[in-house]
Amino acid sequence: MSIGHFIDGKRVGGTSERRGDVFDPATGRRTAEVELASTADVDVAVQAAARAARAWRDASLARRSAVLFAFRELVHARRDRLAEVITAEHGKVLADAAGEVQRGLEVIEYACGLPSALRGAFSENVSTEVDSYTIRQPLGVVAVISPFNFPVMVPLWFVPVAVACGNAVVLKPSEKDPSAALLLAEWFAEAGLPDGVLNVVNGDKEAVDALLEHPEVRAVSFVGSTPIARYVYRRATAAGKRVQALGGAKNHMVVLPDADLDLAADAAVNAGFGSAGERCMAISVLVAVEPVADALVERIAARVTGLRTGDGRRGCDMGPLVTAAHEAKVRSYVDAGVAAGAVAVVDGRDVTPDGDPDGFWLGPTLFDRVTPDMSIYTDEIFGPVLSVVRVGSYDEAVELVNASPYGNGTAIFTNDGGAARRYQHEVEVGMVGINVPIPVPMAYHSFGGWKSSLFGDLHAHGEDGVRFFTRGKVVTSRWLDPRHGGVNLGFPTQT
């Protein structure tokens, strides 16, 4: 099977001869090839979007909302199918895929109500008979470039908001799991979105570079690893575009001695190993404030040993990694952790999966006595590896978290409200959970990290999303009132 693009309302092939392989990670089998767009293919999509944007910006708010409501109904009715497509190409278990679809649906629902966020602001009588008001207008063509790990949720962080704001979109999904984005585009069209308002171009670096340089592309929303996010931010801003580039993460969960240890252990296991750790909000470091470490590690180990790794369609707890290359990379980190002297309390390299032996398997690994100089601590591994670092005090814990170059998510587990409040104030991270391990903001708040986890100013969806996909225009108007001796400019005099 060959997977192409979706341009101007229909599935099309491109001109490029280059292809990428798409695998079912649970069987290791190549299930499709995906076209890798050329610069010329990207241009066709951007031109279609530019034509569509000129009409879509004039579509009434009521019409845009009607399309979004219809799209929401289609995605909701077909959510199981979407989850199956995610699992087939990404590998995450069906329950995780369904959760991803649910989070995406929430952004669509937020976008259904966007007319209220687009109301602008009005100041009457800023001077005599002078009013001043701000209106928010769409940008034109915007590009969305997404990572492999949330093939539905991440595109939906941006596309519904961009479209509701009156823009046209060119979406470039990850070439590792391209099918879900094409379905979303088809369903959007079925919901009444005019041709060209949402286009999907599959590809790799060549397609990304073409989007970053294209003069018709006004803004870029990117999500992926930190080195590529930094590159996208620099290159696209140099080309004069508005950019939000969300990068990688290394999220810490701090457990204070007074925490509910069973709650903390459950949270650490869910947040560390859900979606096989391939989540930008996964907890990868657990900071145990002594004397809590022994009791906590014991509880986590008991839970991790009970996790079933296998085919995501078989009701397992954890699926395979996305590709053989990624599995090898994560495995090499486990090797490095052992070699550096960390204690592998549970070693995922020995796993016996419930699935095809050719799948890209690696079981959950729990490391204890990890120190900040080890590569398993410093690097984003993006796999099922949870590292426990032991510290002596709250202050030491905060210092450790704030020394990280990343600042995406963090959590603190404690029963002390004062300590939690101090943590939320002191920690240099964009999203903070208090007794909540994965503090992903709801659609009406904005999602985004700090430091090397986000380049740009505005976060995804919520108020920031609306600001990102619109530009403000301030109108100052003066209408002279004839009753006050002004000139009647031709309108009937009010009596």
Q: Which residues bind ligand NAD (CB under 6 A)?
A: 145-150, 154, 172, 174-175, 204-205, 208, 223-225, 228, 246-249, 280, 380, 382, 408, 449, 453
Catalytic residue, candidates 112, 165, 280, 316: 280
* Residue whose CB is less far from ligand NAD, 171 or 304: 171
CB of 223 vs ligand NAD, minimal distance in Å = 5
Active site residue 280: yes
The closest of 359, 354, 363 to 88, measured between CA atoms, is 359
* Residue whose CB is less far from ligand NAD, 189 or 280: 280
CB of 281 vs ligand NAD, minimal distance in Å = 7
CB of 208 vs ligand NAD, minimal distance in Å = 4
Asked if residue 135 lies in contact with residue 470, where contact means CB atoms within 8 angstroms, the answer is: no
* Residue whose CB is less far from ligand NAD, 148 or 367: 148
Angle, in degrees to the nearest 10, between helices 417-426 and 394-403: 30
* Residue whose CB is less far from ligand NAD, 166 or 448: 448
Asked if residue 303 lies in contact with residue 266, where contact means CB atoms within 8 angstroms, the answer is: yes
Query: Residue 436: exposed, middle, or buried by beta-carbon count in 10 A (0-12, 13-18, 19+)?
Result: middle
CB of 110 vs ligand NAD, minimal distance in Å = 17
CB of 210 vs ligand NAD, minimal distance in Å = 10
> Rounded to 5 degrees, what are φ and ψ at 85?
-65, -40
Asked if residue 389 lies in contact with residue 400, where contact means CB atoms within 8 angstroms, the answer is: yes
Contacts of 458 (CB under 8 A, 6+ apart): 244, 446, 448, 464, 465, 467, 468
Q: Which helix (H) or strand (E) holds 116?
A: helix 114-117
Paired strand residues for 130: 127, 478
- Tallying the residues shown for the chain, one arrives at 495
Residue type, 292: V
* Residue whose CB is less far from ligand NAD, 292 or 458: 458
In the block, tokens 């099922």 appear at: 384
DSSP for residue 447: B
Q: Judging by DSSP bridges, how do beta strands 2-3 and 19-24 pair with one another?
A: unpaired
* Residue whose CB is less far from ligand NAD, 156 or 297: 156
CB of 148 vs ligand NAD, minimal distance in Å = 4
Q: Judging by DSSP bridges, how do beta strands 168-172 and 198-200 pair with one another?
A: parallel
Q: For the chain, what is the total number of helices (H) and then of strands (E)?
A: 16, 23
Which two tokens mark 155?
């595109």
Which two tokens mark 362?
């690696």
* Residue whose CB is less far from ligand NAD, 248 or 359: 248
| Closest residue to ligand NAD using C-beta atoms | 224
Tell me the C-alpha distance between 183 and 170, whole Å: 14
Tell me the C-alpha distance between 79 and 229, whole Å: 30
CB of 324 vs ligand NAD, minimal distance in Å = 14
Q: Would you name the residues annotated as active-site residues?
A: 280
